[in-house]
Amino acid sequence: MTGFSMPTPLQILNSVFGFPAFRGQQAEVIEHVVAGGDALVLMPTGAGKSLCYQVPALCRDGVAVVVSPLIALMQNQVEALNQLGVRAAALNSARSLDEVRVIERRMRAGELDLVYVAPERLVLPGFLALLDECRIALFAIDEAHCVSQWGHDFRPEYLQLALLHERFPHVPRIALTATADGPTRRDIAERLNLGDGRHFVAGFDRPNIRYRIAAKNNAREQLLRFLAAEHGGPGAESGIVYCLSRAKVEETASWLAGKGYTALAYHAGLDQPVRAANQERFLREDGIVMVATIAFGMGIDKPDVRFVAHLDLPKSLEAYYQETGRAGRDGMPADAWMAYGLEDVAKLGQFIASSPSSDAQKRIERGKLNALLGLCETARCRRQVLLEYFGETGAGPCGNCDTCLEPVASFDGTELARKALSCVYRTGESFGAGHVIDVLLGKDNDKVQRFGHQNLSTFGIGTELPAEQWRSVLRQLVAAGLLAIDTEGHGAFKLTEACRPVLRGEARVDLRRDPLPARGKAKASAG
């Protein structure tokens, strides 16, 4: 400690950051860390996690070491801090050797308040030796869910961060994340050796975000209708459109551009300068639609993103929550809109099956995909389902999601389920939705002829529903675990153990009645 007394957290907040008061649990977290305690902080995106370590960094003697997984994110934070007059720097692969030397010298001399480093650099013996020569105020571990295999963004380099505690037992550590369900939270605490640290968990609800999930029929057209009807058409509002693949990002961006939108692309396959320029424009200008893979968004702090649209399923509920959470950070109304179909489920299932992960890991990922399907197919309030997943129970229906705004009727769908399941069975569990529905509807086409399926007992037993509604039934059967999608082959349906009681007539199946896409064009994107 220096001779004069350190300023208080509130003084720092006022004089350095220019904010009048702390928000939510910030004051509590900061007090705890300034006093030398370890902490795990779970706050939704936009809640103000950065100040939870930036203020203690300035209250405590020495340099705060901030572990952050993304270079772009570090740069943004460092620039913002420098503008406030805070002595901060980032050590990463973008630095030249000379720049690194200067930063290291400033660290040793106690001339830096914060230094941001990538996890892989932090654990290098040379860097740890440097830290031995410095006075360290605290360690902050940002995006801490990266340490957990339960999290949606596991990074093996994070595992080594446990050594911080062994090597610097007296330096407080604060781990921060926006997304962690119960198991992930415990996993983070365990892996980072945060044993006695306090957990600060803030509410996950983002009441200004309206959640909607539509059945996909022509996703791009659905998106266009949504943008035109609710976001003022081209140039009016900023938003993000997430797609699964780079190719689809490019296609969608140029398609939107052709419709008059200022649409930019962002994915890991683009050159760094292009990515940086697009990100910069999105942050600076109004009315830009960023079409992106999940490579875009971590740490993006743009308050007036009015919509986040998903043209493909995200990987999990955490990913969905984090991605949609980039909308409406200013607290004004914003939309989380998604179109999803069975092909998405098949595709993600295939990703999981063909990934090099262990079987245990694959089970976790399949479980996460199923939880996401549960959200997509629920007849309940979407927000309730989402919050319950994060351990927040007890909230009533929100009144600001599609199922609240246009309640979905459920009905006894046992007979329909049995027809669909028997048809999957009779066709040899070898076909996807298109063919199964053709057989249910009695379509006497080439493929049906080729397999002789016009002779099956299930041929034409489903004429009471149009194809679109059979798709809905099949999606719901998958979400309910009564049907599986074969991920080894080409997305054929397989029966599961769970469907036997239904086929035997011993179990009842409730289905949601999806709004018909044909019923009123403007409404087609709802439901």
Give me the residues that bind ligand ADP (CB under 6 A), please. 19, 22-23, 26, 43, 45-51, 301
**Rounded to an integer, what distance in angstroms lies between the CA atom of residue 29 and that of residue 169?**
19
Q: Could you say which of ligand ADP, Zn ion, none residue 25 binds, taking C-beta under 5 to 8 angstroms by partner kind?
A: none
Nearest by Cα to 427 from 397, 403, 458:
458
How far are the Cα atoms of 66, 117, 118, 203, 407 from residue 92, in angstroms, in the given order?
Answer: 12, 6, 6, 33, 51
Q: How far is the CB of 304 from ligand ADP (least distance, A)?
A: 12
Q: How far is the CB of 384 from Zn ion (least distance, A)?
A: 6
Task: Decide whether 206 or 475 has the Cβ nearer to ligand ADP.
Answer: 206
Q: How far is the CB of 271 from ligand ADP (least distance, A)?
A: 27
Q: Could you say which of Zn ion, ligand ADP, none residue 381 binds, taking C-beta under 5 to 8 angstroms by partner kind?
A: Zn ion
Q: In what order do the strands lie in the sheet with 238-242?
A: 209-215, 334-340, 305-310, 238-242, 288-292, 262-266
Task: Decide whether 47 or 502 has the Cβ nearer to ligand ADP.
Answer: 47
Q: How far is the CB of 478 from ligand ADP (least distance, A)?
A: 34
Q: Could you say which of ligand ADP, Zn ion, none residue 51 binds, taking C-beta under 5 to 8 angstroms by partner kind?
A: ligand ADP
Helices (H), 5-59: 9-12, 26-34, 50-59
Task: Decide whether 45 or 487 has the Cβ nearer to ligand ADP.
Answer: 45
Q: Which residues are CB-neighbours of 343 under 8 A, at least 6 positions away?
A: 216, 491
Taking every pair of Cα atoms in the chain, the longest distance, rounded to a whole number of angstroms, is: 92
Positions touching Zn ion (CB under 5 A) are: 381, 383, 397-398, 401, 404
Q: Could you say which of ligand ADP, Zn ion, none residue 50 binds, taking C-beta under 5 to 8 angstroms by partner kind?
A: ligand ADP
The amino acid at residue 379 is A
CB 367 within 8 Å of CB 309: no
Residue number of the CB atom closest to ligand ADP: 48
Task: Decide whether 51 or 227 has the Cβ nearer to ligand ADP.
Answer: 51
Task: Decide whether 153 or 402 has the Cβ nearer to Zn ion.
Answer: 402
Q: How far is the CB of 26 from ligand ADP (least distance, A)?
A: 6
**What are the structure tokens assigned to 268, written together?**
């890991």
Q: How far is the CB of 515 from Zn ion (least distance, A)?
A: 16
- Measured in whole angstroms, the distance separating CA 228 from the mean position of its chain's CA atoms is 25
Task: Decide whether 391 or 397 has the Cβ nearer to Zn ion.
Answer: 397
Q: Could you say which of Zn ion, ligand ADP, none residue 68 binds, taking C-beta under 5 to 8 angstroms by partner kind?
A: none
Q: How far is the CB of 50 from ligand ADP (least distance, A)?
A: 3
Q: Could you say which of ligand ADP, Zn ion, none residue 47 binds, taking C-beta under 5 to 8 angstroms by partner kind?
A: ligand ADP
Task: Decide whether 270 or 317 has the Cβ nearer to Zn ion.
Answer: 317
**What are the structure tokens assigned to 471, written together?**
């798709």
Helix (H, G, I), strand (E, B), or coil: what is residue 509? Answer: coil
**Rounded to an integer, what distance in angstroms lies between the CA atom of residue 363 and that of residue 344?**
18
**Rounded to an integer, what distance in angstroms lies between the CA atom of residue 388 and that of residue 383?**
8
Task: Decide whether 22 or 139 has the Cβ nearer to ligand ADP.
Answer: 22
For the chain, give percent helix, strand, coil, nearest 5.
45, 15, 40
Q: Could you say which of Zn ion, ligand ADP, none residue 383 binds, taking C-beta under 5 to 8 angstroms by partner kind?
A: Zn ion
> What string of H, E and C letters represents the secondary structure of 448-488?
HHHHCHHHCCCCCCCCCCCHHHHHHHHHHHHHCCCEEECCC
Q: Could you say which of Zn ion, ligand ADP, none residue 398 binds, taking C-beta under 5 to 8 angstroms by partner kind?
A: Zn ion
Task: Decide whether 214 or 319 has the Cβ nearer to ligand ADP.
Answer: 319
Task: Decide whether 334 or 477 has the Cβ nearer to ligand ADP.
Answer: 334
CB 317 within 8 Å of CB 371: yes
Q: How far is the CB of 230 from ligand ADP (least distance, A)?
A: 25
Q: How far is the CB of 148 from ligand ADP (least distance, A)?
A: 18
Supply the DSSP symbol for 353.
H
**What are the structure tokens assigned to 95, written together?**
């630095």
Q: Which residues are CB-neighbours of 407 under 8 A, at least 6 positions away?
A: none
Q: How far is the CB of 70 from ligand ADP (least distance, A)?
A: 13
Q: Could you say which of ligand ADP, Zn ion, none residue 401 binds, taking C-beta under 5 to 8 angstroms by partner kind?
A: Zn ion
How far are the Cα atoms of 183, 215, 313, 352 from residue 316, in angstroms, in the given order?
Answer: 14, 18, 8, 12
Q: Could you say which of ligand ADP, Zn ion, none residue 300 binds, taking C-beta under 5 to 8 angstroms by partner kind?
A: none
